Amino acid sequence: MSWKDKLRQVEPYVAGEQPKLENMIKLNTNENPYGPSEHVKTVLNSIDTDHIRLYPNSDADELRHALAVYHGLDDDQVFLGNGSDEVLALSFLTFFNGDDPVLFPNISYSFYPVYCDLFKMSYRQVLLNEDFTININDFHQSNSGIIFPNPNAPTGLLLSLDAIEQILKNNQDSMVIVDEAYIDFGGQTCVSLIRKFENLIVIQTFSKSRSFAGARLGVALGNKEAIAHLYDVKNSFNSYPIDYITQQIALASVLDSQDMKEKCQRIIRTRERVKVQLKDLGFIVPDSYANFVFVSHPQIDGQQLFLALRKAGIIVRHWQQPLIDQYLRITIGTDEQMDRLIAFISQYLKEQGAVTK
């Protein structure tokens, strides 16, 4: 016997790389190119270091209230955590405790199977259609819980509120978690369904639309009783997941949500013209509602294009996985960054002799 016989051995999630290359164009982890509101800067610059000496408010009450007002909910319907990855982990732990498998799409956020393995939950990956759309009837089978991103990652495809309502109706005996990491980029949030369905939890993040990836804040929204159970689990794990500084600057971000909406509109405009340009170059471009596009080219190898881009200092995301190994996920950056991406790809396609419009 050794300590190794008592290990909890897991295969961890691998995040997109954060390389340090000069003049690189970083389009691989869906960060927001425009940064947070000016109010965030003002608040950050005025932080009194005496607050760092003290423990923060454990449930971030002031921020929680501001978010409740923003979403039209009560304070006790809002839960906060250290990034939505932590909120997701705590939600799996709280809600997915049956004997049946947890269900999620086979092409989806690759952290979900990692949490299932970590917590020793069984799961079943529900197959998407060939065009990456979700067939909602496939989520009508026994389960211990359901989770999917909307828009889905990394495809960017959006499910309608009607479709989500149908999934909720078909699964009233288990919790359905909708991961809305990208909802501010043109989708319709399903927060309004919380009033109608007590088996719904909506998870959002400040990382993408609010440019807070480096500060770490995630949110869960749901009925009061479910959220109270989530707090019980959180308080059995970490009483202070959100530091004082993040609480203050996140509050400034919520109070200036107009700034976030304007920056998202800019990203949406850039995304829509990049979709057209990539289609003109012969790419297959699923209709993304997120701050990225997921694209493949019938005449060009995905891995080769990924490596060529990298050599040119343009970092995108590629998975060497069946079904999606010909696809690249490209974050929508500034207009100038996207111009350089398109210019490089046009030239590359010419050199490879690919036919374009």
Q: How far apart are CA 177 and CA 220, in angstroms?
A: 9
Site string for ligand PLP, 4-43 (x = CB under 6 A): ----------------------------------------
Q: Pick one of 56, 113, 145, 149: the residue that binds ligand PLP (CB under 6 A).
A: 149
Cβ 231 to ligand PLP shortest distance, Å: 18
Closest by CA position to 16, among listed 319, 296, 280: 319
Helix (H, G, I), strand (E, B) or coil at 147: strand
Total site size for ligand PLP, rule CB under 6 A? 12
Site for ligand PLP in 290-319 (CB under 6 A): none
Residue with tokens 């003290």: 54
Q: Which is nearer to ligand PLP, 112 or 197 (CB)?
A: 112
**Judged by CB under 6 A, which stretch of 19-27, 82-90, 115-123, 161-169 contacts ligand PLP?**
82-90
CB 329 within 8 A of CB 154: yes
Q: Which is nearer to ligand PLP, 85 or 259 (CB)?
A: 85
83 binds ligand PLP (CB under 6 A): yes
Q: How far apart are CA 161 and CA 168, in angstroms?
A: 10
153 binds ligand PLP (CB under 6 A): yes
Closest by CA position to 242, among listed 217, 221, 220: 217
109 binds ligand PLP (CB under 6 A): yes
Q: Which is nearer to ligand PLP, 59 or 85 (CB)?
A: 85
**Judged by CB under 6 A, which stretch of 57-65, 80-88, 241-249, 334-342 contacts ligand PLP?**
80-88
Helix (H, G, I), strand (E, B) or coil at 199: coil
Peptide bond connecting 33 to the previous residue in cis, omega within 30 degrees of 0: no
Cβ 29 to ligand PLP shortest distance, Å: 8
Cβ 182 to ligand PLP shortest distance, Å: 7
Cβ 54 to ligand PLP shortest distance, Å: 25
Residue 170: its H or E element: helix 161-170
Q: How far apart are CA 176 and CA 126, in angstroms?
A: 14
Site for ligand PLP in 213-272 (CB under 6 A): 213, 218
115 binds ligand PLP (CB under 6 A): no
Q: How far apart are CA 157 and CA 109, in angstroms?
A: 13
- Residue 6 makes CB contacts below 8 A (sequence gap 6+) with none
Task: Give the other-Cβ count within 10 Å of 196's Cβ.
Answer: 10
Residues contributing to the site for ligand PLP (CB under 6 A)? 83-85, 109, 149, 153, 179, 181, 205, 207, 213, 218
